Structure 1
Amino acid sequence: MWLSAVLICVFPVISATPFNRQWEEDMSVRHSWLELPRGWRRLSSPSPNHTFDLHVGLKQHRLDVLISDLLQISDPTHPRYGQHLTKEETEDLVKPHPDTLDAVEDWIISHGINSSRFHYPTGGQDHIDLRVSVAEAERMLNAKYEFYRHKSSGDTILRTMSYSLPRALQPHIDVVSPTTYFGTTRSMRSTSFLQPEVQPLDALEPIVQPISDTVRSSSCDLINTPACLRDLYNTTNYEPQAMDRNRLGIAGYLDQFSNDADLQTFESKFRPEAIGFTVPTVQINGGRNNQTEPGIEANLDVQYGVGISYPTPNVYYSTGGSPPYIADSQTPMNTNEPYLDWLTYILAQPTIPQVITTSYGDDEQTVPVDYATRICNLFVQLGARGTTVFFSSGDFGVGGGDCFKNDGSNRVEFQPGFPASCPFVTAVGGTTHVNPEIGVNFSGGGFSRYFTRPAYQSGPVSQYLVALGDTYAGQFNPNGRAYPDIAAQGTGYQVVVGGHIVSVGGTSASSPTVAAIFSLLNDVRLSQNKSTLGFINPLLYSTAVPGLNDIVSGSNPGCQTDGFTAKEGWDPVTGLGTPNFSRLRSLISG
């Protein structure tokens, strides 16, 4: 049933289409702008000899088979549960149809571009990267490239207002970039923020001594430290054993760098037994690692990944670049992160971390649907290879800004977030306080407009919608993929930045916390010579429910409304609830 529910992510089987030079006489516009997107102005024309990298994403031929395999190996009741695919097996399933590869290659060659310039970054050969001149790209795409400058950020990009493809190639190509998708690399949105109203521990003094148990126990309702979180989610007494086989990955963007010195200070203050433990940085596509500019977001992610999962190895990915973008009122500049660059890199690796967390997100409507679909399908490959992918659900409740749709209608609707809305990732919402925990008011949650609701969610989400009734009718898609899936504390995190503690909040904090807990659960399974958990959503919505703390109060206002309300069972504020490690450990050890 679920396979039919996500056909928006799957493209039709490609039939044979022999190369025909008459294609060039039958060009069809793939996308065009009637007017320049808001915030941009034309700057100048590039030299015809100016070169740039063109990405041509090809249709993945057996994606439906890969999705079917993923669902089987992720279903705890299926005989294939836990039998993850190898890199080679996943690549074989996403290889384009031979006719697709031949047609696209012949089309490119017909423009005088030698095949020696083709680069296939992954073994699946599902996309071609090639360095082209402006003149070559304009001939291929019937386009006119210009330099454009963003008025607020000052960033300059190379784009075209319109581009076309031969009509016979339209079924063979998913994405061509850069073309008409305007964007800037600055001001991308991370899902964290400083909380000056939460008095940090030792805010103004250099950190010298570890915090006492007395301070921990008296302050955990207002602030969060590794000790608070380990106690709340029952990981304190677990000692990892499979450090040689287990890794936690943290994906970072926006020129965010984890500071090594700050990590050591954090360890001395909050996890003294981890002093000397380090996290390597992998730099991708121009990602930097400037130790003189510690990033709050990166320090948060790394410090709490280590603070909870220690001594499990962690790795930080610093990724540069920028993907396609469509502006809306909440995201006036390109806040999309370069998922494509990072995914291309990680999928090409022979081994990848068993858990990966990302604390960034965008309004779904600012991400072109073809780009979002392509990215969502790439997450299928990670899950099939046994990796659990967590994304923070966002910090704007049901939507920030004026919540106007950017299709010209000026309708006000709830704004779901991406990639949290992708059904192949696990979205993490936020909570606050203890005894009891409640849904925090900024926790992103809602229903996708791009992706339909997967079968693994049908029961719990349907129950919520029945209880909701006609409330907010027309402001969200009741048939969409619902998120978040799970939640964790999202306020008062004590983070060391530049040698001092600051208080940080956001689902950016929730996601690495949950990721570290599930990394420990993978340690449990690996130490028992079992497979990793991989794509966990089917597990969460079935046999893992007793291992979660149901959150029954709180709401996520936005778009000039009170937003959704947390209740018993699944809800669009906290998902299924927060993790209880000891109970989950028993459930996944059986």
Structure 2
Amino acid sequence: MTLDVEWAHAIAPDATINLVLANPKNKTIQGQLTALLQATNFAVTHNIGSVISQSFGTSEVCLGTKFLQAAHEIFRKARAQQQTVFASAGDSGAGTIQCNANGKPVTLAQGVNYPASDPLVTSVGGTTLLATKAGNYLREVAWNESAKGAGATGGGISKVFALPNFQQNIVKSKMRGASDIALVADPLTGVPIVTSSLMPGKTVVIPIGGTSVGAPVAAGMTALLDQAMGMRTGFLNTAFYRLLPNAAYAQAFHDIRTGNNTFVFQAQDRRIVTVPGFKTAPGWDAPTGLGTPNVANLAKFLPKLIKANDGATL
């Protein structure tokens, strides 16, 4: 929560931030996600803010059909009133929790997280940012520090949602691909947060990472775009993917072409387990989507690509 609020504020310091809290009393995976999505639903029902950031998720295959349909309806309502919705792609590379018939987690295997896998949500993957000592941009690679125990960007192919129109002829699958975009996430380079939760009575500055950085950063960026355009940009996926065949794409996004999200971890029995992932590629790829936004340039192109009631036909 500290991370989300501070980094949404860092990107858009004059934006109003409404913090909607959840109280997950049911400790099952679906119970916890239900409580979190109830918070999202509150923000949608009351039309709170033009942008919604969600730094949470769990494997879509651990959730029932009725649950996914109800959650998807929340995002459909958000799109209808031009609320932009982001969700972090996850920090376990291409691996997600797999559940048994009773919905209990049993292992980690290739998959994608929900709500990031919902086509009405913009899924935010993660990168490692390489910069000069002065802070000038050099390049980025897909975030993958899993061999060091420091996570990796999520991203993959949905087993639930069919390929949406905006990904036609881009994602080489019949199913929805995530991520859509990416932002800095590597905790080994990290972004700073100020917190008092680690040491009672003391406020400290610590580095932190994960795709949970990317969702609020993307929300802050979108708040700035809304301000620049004088309107809610609303559902962004269609506009983002429209850029790909055009020369403007190279100006609007940093295309990440190095890295993968193969996930390496140590199991409880101390075995080293590898979950095969996806490689980066020119244009769209699962670990980093279309790449990282160059917001100043993106602001030039969005007005031509987006309409007040634009949205994907699923």
**Given the two structures, how large is their TM-score scaled by the length of structure 2?**
0.78
Q: How many residues align?
A: 264
Change (3 A) 1:433 1:347: closer
Matched, 1:319 2:15: no
Unaligned runs of 5+ in 2: 131-137, 145-151, 197-202, 264-272, 305-314
| Structure 2 CA distance for aligned equivalents of residues 385 and 535 of structure 1 | 9
Mark the CA change 1:308 to 1:404 in structure 2 (over 3 Å): closer, same or farther. closer
How far does the alpha carbon of each residue in 1:252-285 deviate from its partner, in whole angstroms, 9 at most, with x for none?
A: xxxxxxxxxxxxxxxxxxxxxxxxxxxxxxxxxx
Name 2:180's counterpart in structure 1. Answer: 485
| 2:192 pairs with 1:494 | yes
Any idea what SS the aligned residue of 1:539 has? helix
Pick the aligned partner of 1:522 from 190, 213, 226: 226
Larger Rg over CA atoms: 1
Q: Which residue of 1 aligns with 2:140?
A: 437
More strand as a share of residues: 2
Give the residue type in structure 1 aligned to 2:211. Answer: T
User: 1:324 Cα shift?
Assistant: 9.2
Identity %: 30
Partner of residue 216 from structure 2, selected from 499, 503, 512:
512
Matched, 1:308 2:11: yes
C-alpha displacement at 1:479, in angstroms? 2.3
Measured in 2, the distance between the counterparts of 1:449 and 1:324 equals 25
Output aligned runs, 1:538-557, within 5 Å: 538-543=238-243, 545-546=249-250, 547-557=252-262
- Aligned-residue offset at 1:582: 1.3
In 1, Cα distance between equivalents of 2:174 and 2:99: 18
Supply the AA of the counterpart residue of 2:162. Answer: T
User: Matches of residues 105-504 of structure 1 in structure 2 within 5 Å?
Assistant: 298-322=1-25, 325=28, 335-349=32-46, 351-400=47-96, 404=98, 406-407=100-101, 413-434=109-130, 435-441=138-144, 442-462=152-172, 478-491=173-186, 492-498=190-196, 499-504=203-208
Segments of 4+ in structure 1 off by > 6 A?
none
Cα 1:455–1:383, aligned 2, differ >3 Å: closer, same or farther?
A: same
RMSD: 2.3
Residue identity matched to 1:521: L
CA distance in structure 1 between the partners assigned to 2:29 and 2:174 by the alignment: 24
Q: Quick one: distance in 2 between partners of 1:300 and 1:522?
A: 22
What TM-score results when the alignment is normalised by the length of structure 1? 0.42
After superposition, the Cα gap between the structure-2 partners of 1:425 and 1:509, relative to the gap in structure 1 and judged at 3 Å, is same
Partner AA of 2:163 in structure 1: R
User: Match of 1:437, SS?
Assistant: strand
State the structure with bigger RCO (CA 8 A, min sep 6), 1 or 2.
Answer: 2
Counterpart-to-counterpart distance in 2, 1:345 and 1:301: 18
Summarize the Cα distance change of 1:372–1:324 in structure 2 as closer, same or farther, 3 Å threshold.
farther
Q: Tell me by how many angstroms 1:589 deviates.
A: 4.0
Alpha-carbon distance in structure 1 between the residues aligned to 2:192 and 2:159: 36
SS in 1 for 2:61: helix
Q: CA deviation at 1:344?
A: 3.9
Q: Give, in angstroms, the shift of residue 562 of structure 1.
A: 3.9
Rounded to whole Å, the distance in 1 between the matches of 2:169 and 2:20 is: 37
Give, in whole Å, the separation in 2 of the partners of 1:348 and 1:335. 20
Determine if contact 1:405/1:413 at 8 Å carries over to the other structure.
no
